[in-house]
Structures are given as C-alpha cells and as structure tokens.
Structure 1
Amino acid sequence: MSLQIRNDPFTQRLQQIGQWIAQGLLQPAAQALTEAQAQHPKDVRVALMGVRLAQQAGNLAGAVQAARRAVALEPGWFVAVTELALQLAAQGQFSEAMEHARHAVALAPKEPRVLHSAANVAQGAGDGKQALTWARTALQLDPQNHPLRLDYAGMLYRDRQYKQAQDEFNRVLQAQPGNETALRNLLTCALQLGDQSEAQRLADVLIIRSPDDEQVRYWHAVAHGQTPKTQPEASVTGLFDDYAQRFDLHLVGGLKYRAPERVAQILLALRPDRRFNVLDLGCGTGLLGVYLGRLHGHLIGVDLSEKMIEQAARHGIYSRFHHVNILDALRDTPADHYEVITCLDALIYVGDLAPVIPNAFRILKAGGHFIFTCEAANEDEADLVLRPDSNRYAHKASAVERQCRETGFDEVKIEHLESLRNEGGKALPGFIVIARKPLAAPADAPAAA
C-alpha cells in the first residue's frame, strides 16, 4: 500500500530510504531507518518502511512485526491494517490475516486497493467465494484496473467458472491487445470449455510470439491433441509456490489425501528397525517425514518449490533438501545410494516414467524399495494420459508394473486405492507401487536414461 504523501524534509528522507531498499542497499537503509525511528517514534510511515525493508531482506517474520507496529500506531488506518493482513498471509497465518482483511474492508469499503488486497488474502486462505466477492466489488469501483481484472479472472478460473473467466480475460485483451497473460489464460479456458479450434488458434498465436517458451510449447502440443511427456518446470513451481502455505490443510483436510500416511506404514512394516536412508522425491511440505518420524538414517527431500521446502524444513525431520526437479535429482544421484526412494503425488506432473524408473533402480541399493503413487488411468486407455480437466497425468497400472519388471525390479506390488484423494467432491482412484530391487541386480538390467 502507498504511504501518505507529504513534502517535508522527513518525508524526503523516507523516500530516499525507500529508494535504497528498492536498489538493494539494505545496510544504509536499515541504519537510516533506525535513525528515523529514533527521531519520529510514532510516525506510522517509519513502521511501513520497515515492512519494505524486512521484505527485501527476506525476513518475513520481521515484516509482520513491522506491520503490527504500524497498526499499533494507527489502528484505524486502512493502509496499515491491509499491510498487516498481507504480511500475515505471506507467513501462512491465514486465520488472523482474514480478520485484518475484513477489518480493512470495513474501514475502507469503497477503496479498490483494499478490496483487491483483501481478495488476494482470501484466495491464499482458500476462501474462493470471499475472494470473488471482494474482487468483484473492487472491479465495480475501478473497472479500468486491468491487473485487478486479470486477478479476478484468475479467481473465476480457479473456481471452475471457465466461461465467466473467459469473458473477463477477453475484456482485458480488448483493452490491452496482445496482453500475453490474457492470451495464455484464454487458451486454457478454451481447453476447459472444450473449444478445441479456439484453443488451437490461440496456441498458434502464442507459439509465433514465444517459440522458445517451455510453457507455450507445452500448451501448443496439448491444444493440438498431443500428450507432452512432462509438464513445464515453471508451471509446477508456480503452482506449488502459491499452494505451499495451505498445502497440508487443503490436501489432507479438504482432499482427504492419505498416501503419505499409508506409505509410512508400508515402509515401517518393511523396515521396522528404522535403519534406512530415504530419498523423498517431490517431498512437498514433508508429510511423509511427519508420518515416518525419526529414522536411524537420513531423510533427504527433493522439491522444485522452494516455498514447499521451507514448510517441510519446519518439521525438523529431514536431514537436508535439494531444490531441483525430480528428473535432475534422479540423473545426478550416485548409484547404490539409498535403501528407499519415495515419490508421492508427484509423477502426476512428471508424466513419462521412462527416465524415472531406471534411474530409481540404479540409485537404490540391492534389496532397496522404490515406492510411488500414480493417478489411475483405465486399462482401456493409453499407458500415459493427460487429464484435460486437471492438467495432470494418469498412468495405467499394468503398464507401470511392466516398466518396473522390465527395468529389473523383482518384486512389484500394486496397491489399488479407490480414493487417492478427492477431486471436485468425488473420489479419485489411484495406486501405490512398491517395487524391490533384487538383492543381486541382474547383469542385463536396462541402462538408466
């Protein structure tokens, strides 16, 4: 939120501090801000500048503390209250963030910036209906605000109101011809609405504009009826960075996701002495570690989302983390290194298992286990299916078992699950694969890709 604008020497000093923060000159900015605090201890603008400094330094807790100080100085000023709501949301403290968002809206019910910020807080908190209500009101007050309209359209899309989202993205495009964010989202709207010809038209426009863009190439292939081998790295990172703060509550509470708990049970039944090392691919927020507890070995987490890793680290169970994608981790890990490799709810984004299963086999020690989950494709479908509604991959269990055995795993068990998790209020079928590397690996095992 913007600060009150004045034109006195102290305001000019604050503006200079703000410029230093923007330029990354944090040490002189911090020193000057400390001096400003001593000179004007009750000036709320100093506290708000402290929020910016803490943000730039990556100190999220410090940003919340500074925002609390601003509210304590000016409890009735909507700018300070909104800032506190935003900072609490960034820390994942959504319950309190929503309290302050509601308070800010009550203080300034006709201020579009407040309503827009409150809508983003609500979206992060998983309250899509409230987010839409606030964003819609903000847009009525400021209909020419195109970034706001883009956010509103995105909220409609996440609420599966694809036609309404399409209309809003089109309005942005009418006002800003060539807006690439609107074009990309219109493509996904067309796919969700089953308008293949429009999806292909938009995909062709985008591929001409951005031929080297990984995400554009992916969606161009999908629009033209192809099944890309894997999802773009940027798409997965963006999804889970946005999702990290509320991942556990939503996935376990809302979607009834039980795979980490079940896999932990399987592992401890196989190795009750807890003497094993685990490579947890796509570790997310560390739910497997929570259910496994302490091991007499190392639990190593791999994830593409740094924010997911930050959440997982809070449990204090993982030995260390690697911020890389799953395929790179598999390729670069030395052979005969782990007793266990897990990969839960991640292959739905990886897709093609050709580079996955052989490398997992190579990395495992003799007698080690590769345990992973998949969404289930029907046996009369292709081995690999990209679901258009969710943009996730489903795998055929018989094909996965065949790949494991052809790679050299001597025991392959498939545990079918009627509900891997809920999706749109319905149970989504899936399966757990428990594949064991022989105590003596066969000499003719296929080479890893």
Structure 2
Amino acid sequence: MAGASRIIAASRARSARSPSSSCPLTMSSLFPSADPFADPFTLELQRIRGLIEVNQLRQAAQALNEAQKNAPTDARVPLLGMRLAERANNPNAAIQAARKALKLEPNWHVAQIELALLLSKQQQGDEAMQLAMQALAATPHEIKVMVGAINVALFSERYEQTRTWAEEGIRRFPQDAGIQLFLARFLAMQGEYSDARTHYEAVHARMPRQPEALKGLVSCALNEHDNEQARHWADRLLGLYPQDEDARYWHALAHGQTPLTQPAQVVTSIFDGYAPAFDAHLVNSLQYRVPRRVAEILNAKHPDRRFNLLDLGCGTGQVGAYLGRIEGHMIGVDLSEKMIEQAARLGLYSRFHRVNVLDALRDTPADHYEAITCTDVLIYVGDLTPVIPNALRILKPGGHFVFSCERAGEDEPDLVLREASNRYAHKASAVERLCRAAGFDEVVIEDLPMLRMEGGAPLPGFLVTARKPLAA
C-alpha cells in the first residue's frame, strides 16, 4: 500500500507493522445468543461456550466430549471445539474442527464463515475467500456474514475485495455505521484520504458526536494538508470531549504541536483488532526480526538462562517465543487485552499487567529485574525522559535494558513525530546521551538498516543495549 499516514486512532494498525490491514470490523459471534427457552441440549452448548469464554478449557473439553457422544451429527459441537482449540492456541486443531462442522452441514453459513476466518489468518486465502463468497451468496441479508466476509478479505490481504464488500455492506445495511466507519479507516490506510473523508462525513452527518468520525476527519485533513479544516474538526472534537486524552492529542497535532507521547486509547485501538493476524503479517510480510535479535542478546548475557525479564509492550509475546523458557520469571506488559491473550497462549510468561509502559516503569519496585526489553514500542511512547531513568532504577546491578527505536537523522531534532506514520523516531546520539546521563555505564547501539519493511522499502532503526553499573 502507499505510505499509511495519520489515520484515526481506532484504526491505526501500525502502518509499518500492518501497512494495509486496518483494524478488522468488530464481529459479534455467529453462534446463537443465550436463549433461556432453548431446548436442553442447546442450553448445554451455551453453557460450554461460556466455559470457553472464561478460559475454563478443561471443563469445556470434558463437556464437549459428552456433547459429542450425545449428538455426534450436530455441527454446533465441532464448531465449539473450534472455539476451544482457538483458545488453546492450536490453530491446526481449530481448522480441523471447523472442517468437521462444515462436513456435517455443508451449506451452513456459520461454519463457512468461521472456517474462512481461520484459514485467512493462516495465509490460506484462496479457500477462505471461496468459503466467504459461498456464505454471502447463501445469506445476502445477514449482516454478521457480511462483516465476516469483509474480515476474511482483510486478513487474506485481498484489499480490492475488502473495499468492494465493504461498499456492498453499506448499500445492504445502510443503518449500520460500523461498516462505513471501517471503510473510512481502510481507505485512510490506503492513502485515499478524499474517499475516506467522504465516508467519515457521512457518519458525522448521522452521528454528530461520534468521536471516531471526528478523529478521522482531523486525520484526513492533516494528510491532505488542509490545516484549516484539521483545526476546525479538532476544535469540535475537543469541545465535545475536553477531558479525553485522545481528543487533546489530535487537537495538538492539528495545531502544529508535537505531543510528547501518545494516549493509551490510541495504542490500544491499534492492536486489539490486529492481534489475530499480528505475528504472521509482521514476520512474514514485513520481515520484522528485532525480537529474535533481542533474544540472542539476552541468551548471550545469560547463558545459564537464570534471570527475570520485564517485557514492556510484549504484544503477542514474540520476545518470549524466541527466548523460550527461562529459569526465572517473564513478566509481560501491554495495553492491548487481545495481544495479551495471544501471548498467554505461549505458556511462557509468569503473568501479565495490562498497563501502559510509563505506568509500568513508574510503579515497578527498584532493583527488581536482570533484564528489561522494549521492542517496537517506544515509537508510540515518544519522550524517553521518563523511560530510561526508571528502567535503570528497576534493573538490578549489572542488568540490561534492551530496546529498539526508529531512527531520526542526526540533522533532525532529538524526537520527531513522523507525519507519514504518526510514529516517533529518535536520534541515536540523543538516546545514548539520555542513557549515560541516567547512569548506564555501558551503552551499545546496533544499527538496523532494516528495522522492518514499510511501503516496500526498509525502515531504518537501531537497537540499544544499556547496562546498569555493577554494585560497588
């Protein structure tokens, strides 16, 4: 895709990490809702679904086995088995269960879409798209199927079809603003700001207080270099939501200011929708290798693997996955609940904290960890002034803080908010000065000519390994 730029907070799926995958549409379950008047077997299936949703997987598995014995030809049973396998982070078993459900009910649109979604997340786009088309053809007036099909196209990276189905969804379900908001976000990610603005304006006309539409209008105006309109929409947004950090953030951008950091809501909204396809897209499409390099550094520093690790902005747990099990505690911190859910499935982290990086650093006791990692996170944090001294405080003597940054040129300011991506870039020499001023006695900066791919070109960055002095 053409370079993604300032887009609304609720859809910025890391233009570098997900250059053409805006957040998927929120999709309510295609499974039947709880119905107290349903037959006893359906009530039992609803109970099992509840067990899965609260991660009581062993009890759910036992109950599903009984349900399978009682109704071996009921396609709802293997479809719940698919849900169970997903929760257990077993995509192959989930696909197998969904196939079984579809074999039992070949024309059931629920099984078609659920299998299609699974396949699309596993880069099996051809079959996924075929199933989505079948479901749409059979149930053209079911909005959940339309939403599912749009997500299938999105995860399969069939972006022309994503747009076509989203436009069709607006025509079929004009009362639903969610599809139109999605299309606006998607078009903004594609760099088609004029078309995106048209859809944001349509939503705003119907729902004048809708914050996402207002943020989108600010974003489009900024990208079209219409500063007057950007200020107009930003002023209206802040007037409606004066206490909202996100509104203040966009207001600052529209008025030519550089916010020192991004609000929590901005970061959360980026990743909650992106979590299911995060690893595959980031590693396969964008050639992101930083977590693997960080794991190599930690293994070299701790060959006995006896250390405690604080993984800031852990995401789906890529640092943990490359590192493997250690003889110590691995603590994950992330704002996105969906990302934490993905990381938890690895079974490597001792626990997680759903807080932002700055709060985690501020509230963690001193001299607590042998290592702290922070990969591809500070591009959203921005100002490192509160980050680096707190990292030093938290580390035990001799401990290491390993973190990555996007590179700003040495002829640029120390901190730059990139207009094209709305991410922060840092100047390496300034970062080194901050580390040494905080008290780190050894600072190694590793140049990364390709932090990851962006817009078809390598994005430069650097990796910092800073050591806290040994105790006297």
Normalization by structure 1: what TM-score?
A: 0.81
What do you get for the CA RMSD once the two structures are aligned? 4.0
Q: 2:353 matched to which residue of 1? A: 322
User: How big is the shift at 1:406?
Assistant: 0.9
Query: Where does structure 1 lack aligned partners over 5 or more consecutive residues?
Result: 442-449
Q: 2:8 matched to which residue of 1? A: none
Q: 1:331 matched to which residue of 2? A: 362
Quick one: structure 1 residues 11 and 159, their matched pair in 2 at CA, closer, same or farther if it must change by over 3 Å? Answer: farther
Secondary structure in 2 matching 1:374:
strand
User: How big is the shift at 1:17?
Assistant: 6.5
Amino acid at match of 1:111: P
1:374 to 396, 402, 405: 405
Q: 2:250 matched to which residue of 1? A: 219
Amino acid at match of 1:213: D
Quick one: structure 1 residues 325 and 175, their matched pair in 2 at CA, closer, same or farther if it must change by over 3 Å? Answer: closer
The answer to whether the 8 Å contact 2:310/2:330 transfers is yes
User: How big is the shift at 1:93?
Assistant: 4.6
Query: Do residues 190 (structure 1) and 218 (structure 2) align?
Result: no
Q: 1:99 matched to which residue of 2? A: 127
Q: 2:140 matched to which residue of 1? A: 111
Q: 1:425 matched to which residue of 2? A: 456
Amino acid at match of 2:131: H
Q: 1:244 matched to which residue of 2? A: 275
User: How big is the shift at 1:436?
Assistant: 1.2
Superposition pairs for residues 226-237 of structure 1, below 5 Å?
226-237=257-268
The answer to whether the 8 Å contact 2:329/2:349 transfers is yes
User: How big is the shift at 1:3?
Assistant: 9.3
The answer to whether the 8 Å contact 2:310/2:331 transfers is yes
Superposition pairs for residues 48-447 of structure 1, below 5 Å?
71-85=102-116, 88=118, 93-95=121-123, 99-100=127-128, 102-109=130-137, 111=140, 113=143, 114-142=145-173, 145-440=176-471
The answer to whether the 8 Å contact 1:333/1:363 transfers is yes
User: How big is the shift at 1:243?
Assistant: 1.5
Secondary structure in 2 matching 1:203:
helix
Number of aligned pairs? 428
User: How big is the shift at 1:2?
Assistant: 7.7
Quick one: structure 1 residues 12 and 281, their matched pair in 2 at CA, closer, same or farther if it must change by over 3 Å? Answer: closer
Moved more, 170-179 or 239-248: 170-179
Supply the distance in 2 between the matched residues of 1:384 and 1:415 (Cα, whole angstroms): 19
Q: Deviations over 1:401-444 (max 9, x none)?
A: 11111111111121121111111111111111111111137xxx
Quick one: structure 1 residues 3 and 282, their matched pair in 2 at CA, closer, same or farther if it must change by over 3 Å? Answer: closer
User: How big is the shift at 1:72?
Assistant: 4.6
Supply the distance in 2 between the matched residues of 1:3 and 1:404 (Cα, whole angstroms): 52
Supply the distance in 2 between the matched residues of 1:273 and 1:338 (Cα, whole angstroms): 16
Supply the distance in 2 between the matched residues of 1:64 and 1:345 (Cα, whole angstroms): 31
Secondary structure in 2 matching 1:151:
helix
Amino acid at match of 1:429: P
User: How big is the shift at 1:378?
Assistant: 1.5
Quick one: structure 1 residues 145 and 308, their matched pair in 2 at CA, closer, same or farther if it must change by over 3 Å? Answer: closer
User: How big is the shift at 1:153?
Assistant: 1.8
Whichever of the two has the greater Rg, that structure is 1
Quick one: structure 1 residues 307 and 116, their matched pair in 2 at CA, closer, same or farther if it must change by over 3 Å? Answer: closer
Quick one: structure 1 residues 216 and 125, their matched pair in 2 at CA, closer, same or farther if it must change by over 3 Å? Answer: farther
Secondary structure in 1 matching 2:262:
coil
User: How big is the shift at 1:264?
Assistant: 2.0
Query: Where does structure 2 lack aligned partners over 5 or more consecutive residues?
Result: 1-28, 55-59
Supply the distance in 2 between the matched residues of 1:314 and 1:266 (Cα, whole angstroms): 24
Quick one: structure 1 residues 292 and 66, their matched pair in 2 at CA, closer, same or farther if it must change by over 3 Å? Answer: closer
Supply the distance in 1 between the matched residues of 2:217 and 2:72 (Cα, whole angstroms): 50
Secondary structure in 2 matching 1:170:
helix
Quick one: structure 1 residues 380 and 208, their matched pair in 2 at CA, closer, same or farther if it must change by over 3 Å? Answer: same
User: How big is the shift at 1:250?
Assistant: 1.3
Q: Deviations over 1:210-232 (max 9, x none)?
A: 11112111111111111112111
Which structure is richer in relative contact order (CA contacts within 8 A, separation 6 or more)?
A: 2
The answer to whether the 8 Å contact 1:352/1:384 transfers is yes
Amino acid at match of 1:328: D
The answer to whether the 8 Å contact 1:281/1:301 transfers is yes
Q: Deviations over 1:313-365 (max 9, x none)?
A: 33333333222221122112111111211111111111111111111111111
Superposition pairs for residues 36-55 of structure 1, below 5 Å?
none
Secondary structure in 2 matching 1:187:
helix
Secondary structure in 2 matching 1:190:
helix
Secondary structure in 1 matching 2:459:
strand
The answer to whether the 8 Å contact 1:111/1:138 transfers is no
The answer to whether the 8 Å contact 2:435/2:443 transfers is yes
Secondary structure in 2 matching 1:284:
coil
User: How big is the shift at 1:299?
Assistant: 2.3
Q: 1:447 matched to which residue of 2? A: none
User: How big is the shift at 1:181?
Assistant: 2.6
Quick one: structure 1 residues 152 and 429, their matched pair in 2 at CA, closer, same or farther if it must change by over 3 Å? Answer: same
Moved more, 410-419 or 178-187: 178-187
User: How big is the shift at 1:199?
Assistant: 1.0
Q: Deviations over 1:30-89 (max 9, x none)?
A: 9xx99x999999787x779x96xx89xx89999999976764553224355335545x47
Moved more, 350-359 or 68-77: 68-77
Percent of paired sites with the same residue = 54
Amino acid at match of 1:346: V
Supply the distance in 2 between the matched residues of 1:179 and 1:43 (Cα, whole angstroms): 42
The answer to whether the 8 Å contact 1:128/1:155 transfers is no
Q: 1:445 matched to which residue of 2? A: none
Secondary structure in 2 matching 1:117:
helix
The answer to whether the 8 Å contact 1:128/1:159 transfers is no
Amino acid at match of 2:105: E
Supply the distance in 1 between the matched residues of 2:346 and 2:155 (Cα, whole angstroms): 22
Supply the distance in 2 between the matched residues of 1:339 and 1:66 (Cα, whole angstroms): 43
User: How big is the shift at 1:185?
Assistant: 1.2
Supply the distance in 2 between the matched residues of 1:253 and 1:59 (Cα, whole angstroms): 23
The answer to whether the 8 Å contact 1:299/1:320 transfers is yes
Secondary structure in 2 matching 1:105:
helix
